[in-house]
Amino acid sequence: MKILYLHQYFNTPEMSGGTRSYEMARRLVAMGHEVHMITSWREPRDEQAWFQTDEAGIHVHWLPVAYSNQMSFAERIKAFFKFAYASAKKAASIQGDIVFATSTPLTIALPAVYAAKKQKKLMVFEVRDLWPELPIAMGALKNPVTRFMAHRLEKFAYNNAAAVVALSPGMRDGVLRTGYTPNQVAVIPNSSDIDMFRVDSSAGAKFREQRSWLGDRPLLIYTGTFGLINGVGYMVELAVELQALNSDVCILLIGNGKEFDKVKTASESAGVLNKNLFIEAQLPKKDIPSALSAATMASSLFIDKPEMRPNSANKFFDALAAGKPVMINYGGWMHDLITSRGCGLAMWKMPLNTAAIKLDEVMHNQEWLSKASLASAELASKNFDRDVLARELENVLIKTLTGQEEQVSEIAPGHYPNDK
């Protein structure tokens, strides 16, 4: 197949952020397919025209369009539509066999549908977040007219998709609530890159050696976005409670985003910064395995909104891939996986002082840590191995291309039994 793969925020391992599209695309290339990635270049660049690179055999077409988590919602919307307009022409100019578009943003459906119709090809749409439910819940879409248009765009995307890939069972349910055909929805979550994250322990030892404050202290790590929706301030409050317990557990936050300075200021005011809570700038994806190797436990955070519970956070699956226990503070299918598989701590609705006591307890319990680590590794290999899920994605595209899109739900039904 020649696949036109549209993702506005594609990242390589040299960049910070999620690399799902890179990892899926390079595996599709290894399977013998030709992949053209249509994406944006977000860093400053003098030349504003399209340019092309080869990334692990993927033909990547980049258009400079400034974007960062620091931008206002209005500025981001402008970036979405700017890319949508330009990428529609670009994608239509590259003859392919099938169009595969991944959100967010939902506006990626506009160039994908245009290119598919122009070439008389089918389009498969991947849902990474429940838009517009999520921005509505966060108060970003307040105007009734804007909300109406966002819902229309959502239906436009699904109505023009021959098949849909959802990143969690909850996202599948969100798609089905719009009236989309159940048999044409596959569930392929974010995945565990086991080969990347199962690094030699020396990588973690070196990471610790480079930080004089760390030594042999138990380490809880967060690597990701400091956005409004992530609620990283939770870790500041947790650090305060740990300090009150005279715990030697320390927390390391690595990332960037709109709330970065706010979190840093709050931790300084609370008297925990550089004592039991430490903050560092974001790292390229290729350096995250060393950080997780050094950690005793990893974490994934979100504010408590029902619309966030179907999320499929990369950092959760990275922790599993590294064979590390994972702590989360939200409900949903990941909470259920942790509680049923024993692969970490599910802190949803738990009072902070209770959470701190529980965390301090398990971080010094080698038997618990060993069992939780093994459970994480097992969950990664049995349910979320990237190689297996990439093959499922290939099968979804092939089924759609050959007119068998009503069978894609059988390929990846999204059932995760509570037993091991």
CATH number of domain containing 217: 3.40.50.2000
Strand-pair category, 163-166 with 122-127:
parallel
Which candidate, 330, 287, 273, 285, places its Cα nearest to that of 305? 330
Q: Quick check: 418 pLDDT over 70?
A: no
Same domain membership, residue 126 and residue 63: yes
Q: How far apart are the first and last CA of the chain?
A: 36
Same domain membership, residue 374 and residue 227: yes
Q: What percent of the chain has pLDDT over 90?
A: 87
The pLDDT score that the predictor gives to residue 284 is: 95
Cis peptide before 105 (omega within 30 of 0): yes
What pLDDT band is residue 104 in, cutting at 50, 70 and 90?
confident
For 165-214, give the DSSP string.
EESSHHHHHHHHTTT--GGGEEE----B-HHHH---HHHHHHHHHT-TTT
CA 221, 227, 229, 233 dihedral sign is positive
Residue 93 contacts by C-beta under 8 Å, 6 or more apart in sequence? none
Cβ neighbours around 43 below 10 Å, total:
9
The pLDDT score that the predictor gives to residue 67 is: 83
Give the CA distances from residue 348 to residues 79, 136, 167, 258, 312, in Å, rounded to whole numbers and listed in that order.
Answer: 35, 22, 21, 24, 16
Which candidate, 389, 286, 285, places its Cα nearest to that of 31? 389
Total tally of structural domains belonging to the chain = 2
The pLDDT score that the predictor gives to residue 93 is: 98
Same domain membership, residue 287 and residue 249: yes
Same domain membership, residue 198 and residue 182: no
Same domain membership, residue 349 and residue 372: yes
- Could you tell me if residue 297 is inside a domain? yes
Tens digit of each residue's pLDDT (9 = 90 or more) over 304-340: 999 999 999 999 999 999 999 999 999 999 999 999 9
Q: Quick check: 419 pLDDT over 70?
A: no
Look up residue 121 and give its two tokens.
């090809």
**Cβ–Cβ under 8 Å, residues 331 and 217:** no
**Cβ–Cβ under 8 Å, residues 199 and 290:** yes
- How far apart (Å, rounded) are the C-alpha atoms in residues 369 and 192? 20
User: Which whole number is the average pLDDT over 230-247?
Assistant: 98
Q: Quick check: 270 pLDDT over 90?
A: yes
Same domain membership, residue 367 and residue 288: yes
- Could you tell me if residue 419 is inside a domain? no
Q: Quick check: 420 pLDDT over 60?
A: no
User: Which whole number is the average pLDDT over 243-254?
Assistant: 98
- Could you tell me if residue 369 is inside a domain? yes
Same domain membership, residue 233 and residue 135: no
Same domain membership, residue 53 and residue 174: yes
Give the CA distances from residue 116 to residues 89, 99, 122, 299, in Å, rounded to whole numbers and listed in that order.
Answer: 11, 6, 6, 39
Cβ neighbours around 117 below 10 Å, total:
13
CA 9, 14, 20, 26 dihedral sign is positive
Q: Which of 66-80, 91-105, 155-169, 350-364 has the lowest mean pLDDT?
A: 66-80
Give the CA distances from residue 101 to residues 26, 217, 247, 304, in Å, rounded to whole numbers and listed in that order.
Answer: 16, 44, 47, 29
Q: Quick check: 412 pLDDT over 90?
A: yes
- Could you tell me if residue 416 is inside a domain? no
The pLDDT score that the predictor gives to residue 142 is: 83
Q: Quick check: 89 pLDDT over 50?
A: yes
What's the full length of the chain, in residues? 420
**Cβ–Cβ under 8 Å, residues 203 and 289:** yes
- Answer yes or no: pTM beyond 0.85: yes
Same domain membership, residue 209 and residue 125: no
Same domain membership, residue 173 and residue 241: no
The pLDDT score that the predictor gives to residue 208 is: 98
**Cβ–Cβ under 8 Å, residues 204 and 294:** yes
> Between helices 73-93 and 109-119, what is the axis angle to 10°?
10
Residue 161, SS3 per DSSP: coil
Same domain membership, residue 236 and residue 255: yes
- Could you tell me if residue 14 is inside a domain? yes
- Could you tell me if residue 177 is inside a domain? yes
Give φ, ψ of 168 to 5 degrees: -165, 165
- Could you tell me if residue 91 is inside a domain? yes
Which candidate, 16, 5, 3, 6, places its Cα nearest to that of 287? 16
Q: Which residue do the tokens 């160039």 mark? A: 111
Tens digit of each residue's pLDDT (9 = 90 or more) over 107-145: 999 999 999 999 999 999 999 988 888 878 888 788 888
Look over the chain and give the mean of its residue pLDDT values, rounded to a whole number.
95
- How far apart (Å, rounded) are the C-alpha atoms in residues 3 and 28? 9
Q: Quick check: 405 pLDDT over 70?
A: yes
- Residue 165 structural domain: 2-191+385-411
Look up residue 384 and give its two tokens.
């979320």
Same domain membership, residue 142 and residue 236: no
